[in-house]
Amino acid sequence: MPLFRYLKRKWLLKKPLPDEWEDIIHKKVPVIHRLPGHLQERLKQRAVILIDEKHFEGCGGLELTGEMILVIACYASVLILEEPADYYGGLQSILVYPEDYLAPFHEEYEGGIVSEGYESRSGEYWGAGNIVLSWKDIQRDLYSVSTGNNLIYHEFSHLLDDRYGLTAGISAEGTALRDDEWTQIVAKAYRRHLRDTATGRYSVVSAYGATSPAEFFSVATEVFIEKPSGLKRYMPGLYSMLSAFYRIDPVSWR
Ligand SMILES: [Zn+2]
């Protein structure tokens, strides 16, 4: 890490948080109340650094407020409480749209068939260092905590997955392509999820997780933090692998 960055982080972390920020976090980031005391402090510290080092931008006419930036940074910090991953190193910008935005898509199928057009999206992770989020969807998740959905956890977990090549070790059909324990167990949980969704059986992870191993990892991350006991009961192996990766144990939180 460059020396100036190290010193700046140290300096930033010494400054007390403005009362106004404390107030917003208290009201808009309820997950903080579940954390043990030392992690509550750490969450705020991580958020302060993310706000300083990442570029947040309102798009599609959205006027991005300090409150929005703080809320996004706090939730993004939950995933890096114990694993700083150098504060999502490589990530440069967080682009926020007022609601679902239209993204161009281009898909090629067998036989040279090409499908092109625009599709509505609520969030996405662009490998090139950008995360795109819809503020409307973020808000929807914040006001209905029991759904187990959280767009911010979802998109930021894609970034971590990509960085560490986690689900790159699992095929679309759920075959583990590596023989380490993590990959084996997550692949097994993914196969079970594929079976359950195909047969219409209940799964604690949303059906969207059947799209690909990467989507499975991201929706499972949402549930891991929002409904940890459900995930632990239903897929204990997956729960412990997520716990090992993020180095947190949300079941033990309040
Ligand atoms: Zn996704």
pLDDT tens, residue by residue, 173-184: 999 999 999 999
Instruction: Judge residue 180's burial from the number of C-beta atoms within 10 Å of its C-beta, 0-12 exposed, 13-18 middle, 19 or more buried.
Output: exposed
144 vs 184, which has greater pLDDT?
Answer: 184
- State the pLDDT at residue 16: 87
Residue at token pair 């059947």: 210
Q: Is 6 domain-assigned? A: no
Rounded to whole angstroms, the Cα distance separating 198 from 178 reads 25
* 92-102: pLDDT as tens digits: 999 999 987 66
What CATH number did the domain enclosing 191 receive?
Answer: 3.40.390.10
- Round to whole Å and give the CA distance between 80 and 38: 14
Q: How far is the CA of 23 from the centre of ligand 1 (A)?
A: 31
% of the chain with per-residue pLDDT over 90:
72
Count structural domains, the chain: 2
Residue 20, token pair as written in the block: 């106004």
Whether the per-residue pLDDT at 103 is higher than 80: the answer is no
Contact 216, 173 (CB under 8 A): no
Together in a domain, 109 and 24 = yes
Structural domain includes residue 7: no
More confident residue, 118 or 64: 64
Please check whether residue 151 lies inside any domain of the structure: no
pTM of the model: 0.90
- Whole-number Å distance, alpha carbon 150 to ligand 1 midpoint, is 11
DSSP state letter for 247: T
Residue 145 scores a pLDDT above 70: no
Domain identity same for 171 and 108? no
- Predicted local distance difference test score (pLDDT) of residue 118: 67
Please answer whether residues 198 and 205 qualify as being in contact, where contact means their C-beta atoms are separated by less than 8 angstroms.
no
Asked if residues 126 and 155 have their Cβ atoms less than 8 Å apart, the reply is no
CA of 209 to the centre of ligand 1 (A): 8
Same domain, yes or no: 191 and 93? no
Percent of the chain clearing pLDDT 70 (strictly above): 91
Same-domain check for residues 66 and 138: yes
Per-residue pLDDT tens for 40-57?
999 999 999 999 999 999
pLDDT at residue 115 tops 80:
no
Report which secondary-structure segment, H or E, holds 114. strand 114-121
Any domain includes 158:
no
Range of the domain at 33: 14-145
Are both 75 and 109 inside the same structural domain? Answer: yes
Distance between Cα 179 and ligand 1 center (Å) = 25
Q: What is the CATH number of the domain that holds 42?
A: 1.10.472.150
